[in-house]
Amino acid sequence: MRTVFCRKYQEDLEGLPTPPYPGPQGQDIYENVSKKAWQEWQARQVRLINEKALSMINPDDRKYLTEQMLKFFNNEDADEADGFVPPEA
């Protein structure tokens, strides 16, 4: 199992098996974001796409999601779907 020091959780956690997409940003995520944080982002991304009716064809929508993803991984104030209540641990 490959581990990374996760930017979001500030601890060593299981890393992704491969970069999630090509280029420097994909490599950065591969090296600094855990599998757990990536999976949580993917779920949040789906909620944002659905609620805000985002289109991945639209460059502005893709830019918005990228900005939200970086905020999420950096523990900054990122958007969430309205009314979303996280499950209790």
The pTM score is 0.87
Cα 82 to Cα 40, 48, 55, 61: the distances in Å are 17, 9, 18, 17
Residue 85 belongs to a domain: no
CB atoms < 10 A from the CB of 37, how many? 20
Residue 58 belongs to a domain: yes
Is residue 11 over pLDDT 70? yes
Residues 6 or more apart whose CB falls under 8 angstroms from that of 76 comprise 70
The residue type found at 41 is W
Residue 62 belongs to a domain: yes
Residue 50 belongs to a domain: yes
Per residue in 19-52, pLDDT (tens digit) is: 998 999 999 999 999 999 999 999 999 999 999 9
Give the tokens for residue 34. Answer: 């855990």
Residue 68 belongs to what domain range? 3-73
Residue 78 belongs to a domain: no
Residue 79 belongs to a domain: no
Residue 80 belongs to a domain: no
The average pLDDT across 5-21 equals 97
Return the CATH number at 33. Answer: 1.10.3880.10
For residue 12, list its beta bridge partners.
5
